[in-house]
């Protein structure tokens, strides 16, 4: 294998939480409220179940093909050329989703904090950090995340505690299911892409010290993110109400409105620090997966140079794909569901082929 490092089950949980959580706390309350309104919290519960189901498919593939990434066993299942085409599709998904993440990060900084700074500065600096971390391997990435993720979670919980006096749940969360279940289902679609980020485990399971724990790791990560996302959505909607639909980053607006005795105010830097810490890890994880997948598709023995080339492609796409934050939001609603189909469809299709052709380590053989 190209990667010689190993990560523990706990580190895998932390990496997966860091991969899903940062974007969801900023972006999803707005996207989900547009469709589900005050029932957006129900959409979170629905999409958490979806995340568990998608994760189970990925874990089953990992158990059938121990020591192999999806790039390797797709060629076993489909043949060399079709398998490589699947691999290239996954590389494109990793890069495009990462471009969306980085652009979201850049727009947040430009719009709310440093409007005079060119967007390309934030894009370039983020990618350079990701390239540097990825070149040092998965173990280094996991250890950095061991430091960053607890800080992110502590800051989020601190923010929630401070905003409790501003909550108005009776006014902003009722009535429940006023327009039926369909809006709840539609509200879950944008979140599905974020929760389907469990598909990074297609590349990470072989490098776990105990790959058989993959199902437990994914389930723990999805339930943790689901709990935090439910908490954030409830707090945001209970505080902002219908204004949630008009604010691109409602959690940031929420932090700015905290005012306790004119002493604790303007806590939006907490959200910024949370996003910088968690966002950098998320970008690095996606960049690692894209780099490792690219190296395996093309048979490159050292993925160091590949991470630089992929970083350049990533930076170019991040800058040219969207004009501004409005177009970014529009495409998030319009395009990401198609990504969701691929993210879930590819692993599900590979598992179906593996079962039909009886490929991989079969359940009875494991016993």
More confident residue, 91 or 277: 91
239 within 8 A of 167, measured Cβ to Cβ: yes
pLDDT band of 263, cuts 50, 70, 90: low
Residues 292-322: pLDDT tens digits?
Answer: 999 999 988 888 889 999 999 999 999 998 8
Domains of the chain: 9-366 (1.20.1740.10)
Residues 104-156: pLDDT tens digits?
Answer: 888 888 887 888 889 999 999 999 999 999 998 899 999 999 988 888 888 88
d(CA 140, CA 149) in angstroms, rounded, equals 14
Whether residue 364 has pLDDT greater than 60: no
User: Helices 70-78 and 80-112: crossing angle, nearest 10°?
Assistant: 150
pLDDT band of 260, cuts 50, 70, 90: low
């Amino acid at each position: 294998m190209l990667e010689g490092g190993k990560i523990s089950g706990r580190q895998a949980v932390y990496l997966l939480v860091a991969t899903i959580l940062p974007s969801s706390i900023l972006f999803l309350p707005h996207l989900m409220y547009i469709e589900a309104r005050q029932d957006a919290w129900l959409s979170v519960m629905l999409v958490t179940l979806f995340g568990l189901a998608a994760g189970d498919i990925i874990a089953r593939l990992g158990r059938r093909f121990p020591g192999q990434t999806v790039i390797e066993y797709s060629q076993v299942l489909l043949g060399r050329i079709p398998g490589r085409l699947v691999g290239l599709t996954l590389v494109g998904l990793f890069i495009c989703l990462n471009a969306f993440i980085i652009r979201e990060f850049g727009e947040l900084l430009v719009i709310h904090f440093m409007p005079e700074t060119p967007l390309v500065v934030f894009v370039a600096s983020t990618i350079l950090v990701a390239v540097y971390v990825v070149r040092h391997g998965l173990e280094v990435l996991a250890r950095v995340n061991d430091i960053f993720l607890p800080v992110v979670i502590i800051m989020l919980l601190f923010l929630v505690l401070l905003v409790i006096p501003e909550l108005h749940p009776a006014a902003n969360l009722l009535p429940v299911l006023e327009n039926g279940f369909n809006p709840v289902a539609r509200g879950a679609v944008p979140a599905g892409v974020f929760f389907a980020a469990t598909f990074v485990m297609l590349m990470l399971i072989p490098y776990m010290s105990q790959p058989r724990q993959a199902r437990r790791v994914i389930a723990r990560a999805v339930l943790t993110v689901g709990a935090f996302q439910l908490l954030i959505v409830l707090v945001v909607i209970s505080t902002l109400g219908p204004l949630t639909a008009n604010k691109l980053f409602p959690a940031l607006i929420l932090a700015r409105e905290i005012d306790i005795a004119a002493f604790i105010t303007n806590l939006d830097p907490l959200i910024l620090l949370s996003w910088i810490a968690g966002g950098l890890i998320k970008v690095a994880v996606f960049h690692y997966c894209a780099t490792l997948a690219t190296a395996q598709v093309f048979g490159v023995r050292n993925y160091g140079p590949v991470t630089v080339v992929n970083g350049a492609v990533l930076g170019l796409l991040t800058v040219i794909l969207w004009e501004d934050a409005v177009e970014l939001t529009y495409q998030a609603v319009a395009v990401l569901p198609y990504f969701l189909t691929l993210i879930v469809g590819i692993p599900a299709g590979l598992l179906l082929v593996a079962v039909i052709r009886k490929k991989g380590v079969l359940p009875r053989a494991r016993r």
